[in-house]
A and B are shown apart, each in its own frame.
Chain A
């Protein structure tokens, strides 16, 4: 297995070809984003006189700064709330074996199957009645509940595989259950928390349908909605659109490449949940 044979070389070349296939659209994306709209040569030919004008123009005209701030706000608040409430809820659900506990857990798991399209339309009405429509708080509220089933599912799976001995010792030493949770269990939950953090952040940041519904008609936007609006407005000026796409992708990819190990492990970690 450790020899580097001719077959390994062939495999290496095939895999690099696959990676180039993945990279090709990204090459075109950047190539067209730095191209002045007067340049109409083939999209795969490297741009002869690259410019950054498209970026400044896209940033100003698409009000992408505000959208970026909203996306950050909504994602940060939702993820913090979801992780806090879900880990607290998962603890009794994983530890108490009474019938009500099992029943409640099944009810939560039902949420994994319900597509959000079913809830989102009636909730639209509720949000309007509450006056939250068109504000980022509607999104925070929605995601905080929407992501609970999946997050609880991750935590319960992890907790059930965790030995109880440490908590039992803490309880014998006079901790209340809440203290035992905070001081003993919580530190042990770090791996699953990383997984839950990564998956929830990506899900909330990338969601398009919900802000499309709950923010429509308002000046508030998240990044995906701002991009969609931008494409609709500048539909023929693809160089400008591509600059906007690059602006929206860049922060995500920077974070990804900086934290790639934790992020990939986070995604793979769902496996053991």
Chain B
């Protein structure tokens, strides 16, 4: 089957070679390189930049997952109500999700700058004291990156939650209301269990997307200031293409693969158990 050949040629075979290169000192160009065993991985343990990048990656993934899904769910509940503008809002709120991430990131790089629109807006509403160099402050930059990703993709989570909400039959809600359940109680006991599949998809998408995040960091901060926002993905790029350390870079990619695999299988097991318990 052609699909399998293509897949094997561009994904499986190079991935397998990648795992092998992770144990070598390959520089990306020469044919001769030597086997260094676990050398790259022990280097990584001693490399403060790599340890920080792993930490940033996890932090970004968790923050994006929590905030994006909370906002997405709130928007979905809002759009699923009786408000008149619901169809227009749905189209509008989802729009950023189709725009190229690198483009929105460059847009935000300007907005979040010292003379950018965010600071102008804060000044205009009398919050001058909140004005910041959002991307230049090592303590803030990481959260600014998270904010930009959430701004862009909250609408994506919304659309998936909305599909889940619309699969909840109205009759069940009406029956629960008749039995005296308030809106909060109805959400918790009726809607929430039926949203489980949508939640599974959303958590998967946001956590894996968060772990692999590259474009936004590259465009917003380039990993800076210093290494304050470097993630595993930006480090992979820098090590391979500015430092020429392909072997080490691929070892980082192996670590990334392990983190993605652990996160997605762990989440899958946890959520499929919950889905079963809920249904």
Contacts and interface: CB of A to CB of B under 8 A. Distances in A.
B2 interface: yes
B106 A123 contact: no
Interface stretch (A46-54, A164-172, A176-184, A241-249): A241-249
A118 B99 contact: no
Interface string B103-122: 11011101100011100110
Contacts of B256: 115, 117-118
Interface size on B, as a range, is 35 or more
A11 to B, nearest CB: 6
A228 B102 contact: yes
B40 interface: no
A253 B99 contact: yes
A99 to B, nearest CB: 16
B277 interface: no
A124 B249 CA distance: 13
Interface in B1-58: 1-4, 6-12, 14-15, 17-19, 21, 28
B278 interface: no
B240 A15 contact: no
A61 to B, nearest CB: 16
Interface string B167-194: 0001001100000000000000000000
Contacts of A108: 4, 7
A188 interface: no
Given A227-B106, A268-B163, A25 B117 contact: yes
Interface of A: 1-4, 8, 11-12, 14-16, 18-19, 22-25, 28-29, 32, 42-44, 81, 85-86, 88-89, 92, 104, 107-108, 110-126, 141-142, 144-146, 148-149, 152, 202, 205-206, 208-209, 213, 216, 223-224, 227-228, 231, 238, 241-242, 245, 248-249, 252-253, 256-257, 260, 263-264, 267-268, 270-271
Interface of B: 1-4, 6-12, 14-15, 17-19, 21, 28, 75, 78-79, 81-86, 89-104, 106-108, 110-111, 115-117, 120-121, 124, 151, 155-156, 159-160, 162-164, 170, 173-174, 197-198, 201, 211-212, 214-215, 218-219, 233, 236-237, 240-241, 246, 249-250, 253-254, 256-257, 260-261, 264-265
Given A1-B170, A8-B82, 16 more contacts: A4-B84, A11-B83, A44-B117, A86-B3, A111-B11, A114-B257, A117-B253, A118-B14, A121-B246, A144-B6, A148-B3, A148-B7, A149-B7, A202-B98, A206-B99, A208-B215
